[in-house]
Structure 1
């Protein structure tokens, strides 16, 4: 990309240069930027467009420097035109994966356009949005946030429905859209809408591939797919920095309204025309600002802010048709419900899930739909987790404080239920799934400041009551066991529906994740059950659903799922043991469950051994806690298997228990493991007492 080496004096009057040179060249560059080049030269046409715009800027700079050639109005107009050329070139530089050049050009453009920002609102919005993308992809989230908040400020100050831009005396930049070519010839093609208001004018394409080309080379899309709305199905990015996703159809192209047949309310053409092109464009760009802010806050793990702006995005997409695609919108809305479940706002969570369900229904998407069945299944999973959490939240309503402690001790060491998946990073709406979050938008015309949770309502859908919270009190829990059973049945129906799509053959991770959720659903109901036999039956149902996976899965191919499975089964059987022991039942009542718990804890611990069967020197940090807890629980179980009728096995079990306690203490001391002081104390006491007990047992058998 070479600029002209020499700077000639302007040879035409300013108006002739604008009409004959500037506008035709910009239109030509726009057309070049839309060309799809071959894979071996993917940016050939865009490079040519940048070159033409660079030469054009070189020519325009000559007018700016010429003494006495331009009147004050023309000189101001020239400076803004140069800034607009920098904005166009910066946008193309980002498209061609040159973020350093894009940063330089966009920063230069924004500094000039900000001098009279009220005349350049849309151009500045776009520049700040793209600068936010660049700095987020560099993992500089604070700087990305500052640019995006500046774009938000511009919208609220000048373009929010209650605001009217202050008039200025300066003439606008030449209206490229109205240009019809030189007098001697017609030029085909149209420029961007509202170029007269200095909106960015390069059409960045309509495909996801073209849009994603803005992402910095080497970066990957947002790392956690559903996994992510997350930690089942969590995937990790190979790049150290997160990439800010750019939704398809973004850019300075005017947003297209949703089809009339979609059944969703959007602004009519007459309404949009009455507002003017700049208002429509500013609204679209602010939707993009909200979307980018949601991702930046997701990368920064500021879940409240992420959810707020994701909700603003969803609401604006629905009302205004900005990048509205029913499938992606429903997925994102289902995911955002997870945040409200986490916050205990079950009413809003149910509203989001009902909205997602209705959008899918109106779009004719079912579990059997080839492209979209997974989204229907994900919405069902969301419903299942909502009902599951309602039951879990009801535990304190069924027990006194003292009983709660007893139940906690009896519930076993099972892992925290995976009610929500961590999908803090958002995928582009057309290419992936978004993250869960809270996002209550304000009505247009109001500042989108920190809202209350209950504000997220999709009024245009006219949603009927779902009855999802039937029987719940003001805390979101149920007080009657019969109501808990109703929630349980609704949750089971939702999970079973999701399993129709996520079958084991082809969807191993998702299938197992749902079965783990079903296990947790049974566990929560067991907390509310007072009958010992029924409690044990609920736990046995958990094991019955999960045990077939032990033989069905290859531990090498699905090591993560295998470990979670064996640990879960060990905890289930130990919970049965604890329930029986809490009622002082004999060994015959809890022995089989104790032996199964030993079996699965052993399988879990053995999965960490290397190919030679050697115990690991250091367990990965993310799995260390479960590994150590399994050692302790297994040691306790071997002690509980102490059987006076079998002297040889009795001593063998006590020795194994001592070995496990000793191994635990050595590991914790060697690696300075934190947060296990109480367990360390108990294990140290057991390690001191067991040798005496073993010696006494051996002496008694002689």
Structure 2
């Protein structure tokens, strides 16, 4: 009787090679009407091979007899089950795919330290993890992927040799991988494990672990040169956004610079690619899109760093002679924030030497941790020097970040144009507006600050005019609200300029203030009107997502009406009465809807106070 190896040599190896070709090459050219034609053909071959080898294996014998069979044959059958599992998953028959992959996993139990089985074990667990993740069974997926990680680490620690590839037993010996290639494939399998873990942790809401696994994935891909440049660059740029949320601007900038560097590599490689014209067009479009996406990530970095710098400004006593300060006024409040440019380390520096030693040790460990996160093989100095990673305190420093952000806005708008990319284009314009807004907080000259807000109004008005509210209702509401707030900020600045002049405002100044007030009121009213029903009536109960914005709009409209400048006492009384009515709207709604009170506590208290005070003010104006 012939042995299984004689069968493999005579026809088995050739059949397996045919099935792989059908799967990896021919399937790419299958017709749209029969997209799985080649994979179905490959499946028949895999099934035929499995049946033949099971004939030699004695699949129906008991467990004790199975253990006595040739272990290579056992692993060959496990590998075929793996390929069948992947085949069924690829053809959207996940239930059957799971059965084969689970059968493969069962056959590999207890063999995780076997050099012939460990790569197949990791790949099988990866595939099962992907499958369960696709079913949104995230905890099950996490367990499988963590098991794959454990298998890899235990093998590396206890064995360390180059393991077989998953197909090595199913190809002639002369076609098997070299030790170097085997090691590469094993490491690549684990890199995939890390990548899938990053996705699962992200879906589970554990952003820290997700970012950590994503970073390790990118680093391993870079070190082994196993990456597609465009995808690597975009993934790295996307990772930077996590570090921004953690206020780690050094690491965020490093990721963005790395993304830009690898993107340049993709740009260099593209012209050398010999491909179909349609495919080349797709690649060029993808390249342009990724360039714009990376630029948008840089823009988000600039915007976040400026806002972080603004928030870090702290008020210090003016009598402190050793500190230099830069004062800015937030246009949304009456508070003035002051920035310390020299620390109070002299006061706090009197701590004990033991504490200093502990701090030094902590700082040293933090530096080591940061170094471990860097992509050391990339030269990034020139790219990182384009924009700072540190908080800024002066207008000149803030302007440098602003100008860098504007350059990336221009770059991103080369791809994301209004015609065809409406949502993306609008977000870029709103980010541009936000850049002006935060830069204005660093400007001490109120007139220049007004001009910055005027730029914001011009760009936002231009977008709003282009949009159909029926198709872009939510976006239009956001733009209306921002225009209303910006006009109100300009009004406050104009009033502050008038009061600071020491003279009574001219008719021209009064007209400008009133124009801004009416402009703000108009946009708030447009926002309110967008909430009305088909009968043009406001709902008695506002939807949760618009409840606070609507009530704050009423609050702001009340304040704006009280700011209108008029020499006509009758008009003044009318404005105050209108202001009172809006304050009452907020109070009445919160009393009727207790759930609103928790979201409007501060404004509600102010409204109650104004409802109590304004009638007396109105009576006083009548008497005058």
TM bucket normalised to smaller = 0.7 to 0.9
Q: Secondary structure at the match of 2:171?
A: coil
Q: CA deviation at 1:113?
A: 0.7
Where 2:381 maps in the other structure, the secondary structure is coil
Q: Distance in 2 between matches of 1:281 and 1:325?
A: 16
Aligned partner of 2:609 among 685, 695, 698 = 685
1:660 aligned onto 2:578 = no
Measured after TM superposition, the shift of residue 127 of structure 1 is 1.0
Alignment-derived partner of residue 251 in structure 2: 348
- Quote the RMSD (CA, aligned, Å): 3.6
> Which residue does 2:228 correspond to in 1?
325
Give the match for residue 74 of structure 1. Answer: 69
TM-score (structure 1 length as normaliser): 0.70
Q: Distance in 1 between matches of 2:72 and 2:15?
A: 17
Q: Which has the larger radius of gyration?
A: 2
* Structure 1 residue 95: Cα displacement: 0.6
**What SS does the corresponding residue of 2:59 show, helix, strand or coil?**
helix
1:347 positional shift: 2.0
CA distance, structure 1, for counterparts of residue 588 and residue 43 of structure 2:
64
Are 2:33 and 1:129 equivalent residues in the alignment?
no
SS in 2 for 1:341: helix
Corresponding residue of 1:291? 195
The reply to whether residue 540 of structure 1 matches residue 540 of structure 2 is no
Structure showing the higher helix proportion among its residues: 2
Cα distance in structure 2, aligned partners of 1:164 and 1:550: 62
Q: Name the CA distance, whole Å, in 2 between partners of 1:167 and 1:384.
A: 45
Distance 1:625 1:114, change over 3 A: farther
Any unmatched runs of 5+ in structure 2? Answer: 271-282, 319-324, 335-367, 500-504
In structure 2, the partner of 1:312 is 216
282, 285, 295: which is aligned to 2:186?
Answer: 282
Distance in 2 separating the partners of 1:128 and 1:50: 21
- Residue 479 of structure 1 deviates from its aligned partner by 3.0
Give CA-to-partner distance per residue, 1:515-541, whole Å, 9 cap, x none. Answer: 211211112121122222222222222
How far apart are the structure 2 equivalents of 1:512 and 1:145? Answer: 37
**Map of 1:639 onto structure 2:** 562
Q: Distance in 2 between matches of 1:337 and 1:484?
A: 21
| Range moving further from structure 2, 521-530 or 494-503 | 494-503
Question: Deviations 1:11-67 (Å, cap 9, x if unpaired)?
Answer: 744444454565454444334434434434333443444344345444544513358
Superposition pairs of residues 185-334 of structure 1, within 5 angstroms: 194=177, 273=178, 275-322=179-226, 324-334=227-237
Q: Distance in 1 between matches of 2:467 and 2:2?
A: 77
Query: Superposition pairs for residues 54-133 of structure 1, below 5 Å?
Result: 54=47, 56-62=49-55, 63-66=58-61, 74-119=69-114, 120-133=117-130
Aligned residues: 552
User: Counterpart in 2 of 1:164?
Assistant: 160
CA contact (8 A) 1:151 1:289 kept: yes
- Quote the Cα distance in structure 2 between the aligned partners of 1:317 and 1:109: 28
- Provide the C-alpha distance between the structure 1 equivalents of 2:448 and 2:180, rounded to a whole number of angstroms: 66
Please show how residues 423-434 of structure 1 align to structure 2 within 5 Å.
Answer: none
Kept in 2, the 8 Å contact 1:129–1:151? The answer is yes
Which residue of structure 2 lines up, in the alignment, with residue 255 of structure 1? none
Q: Distance in 2 between matches of 1:179 and 1:129?
A: 27
- Cα distance in 1 for partners of 2:161, 2:173 equals 25
* Cα distance change of structure 1 residues 21 and 454 upon mapping to structure 2, 3 Å threshold: same
C-alpha distance in 2, partners of 1:517/1:391?
A: 12
Cα distance in 1 for residues equivalent to 2:523 and 2:441 = 23
Structure 1 pair 15–68 and aligned structure 2 pair: CA distance change class (3 A):
farther
User: Using a 3 Å threshold, how does the CA distance of structure 1 residues 56 and 469 change in structure 2: closer, same or farther?
Assistant: closer
Counterpart of 1:432 in structure 2 is: none
CA distance in 2, matches of 1:464, 1:667: 57
Shift of residue 470 of structure 1? 6.5
SS at match of 2:414: helix
Distance in 2 (alpha carbons) for counterparts of 1:401 and 1:513: 37
**Shift of the alpha carbon at 1:352?**
2.0
Superposition deviation, residue 463 in structure 1: 2.2
What is the CA–CA distance in structure 1 between the aligned matches of 2:162 and 2:463, rounded to whole Å? Answer: 67
TM-score calculated relative to the size of structure 2? 0.78
Residue number among 171, 182, 190 corresponding to 1:177 in the alignment: 171
1:620-652 deviation line (CA, Å, top 9, x unaligned): 4444433332232222222333x4523443344
Corresponding position of 1:463: 380
1:151 aligned onto 2:166: no
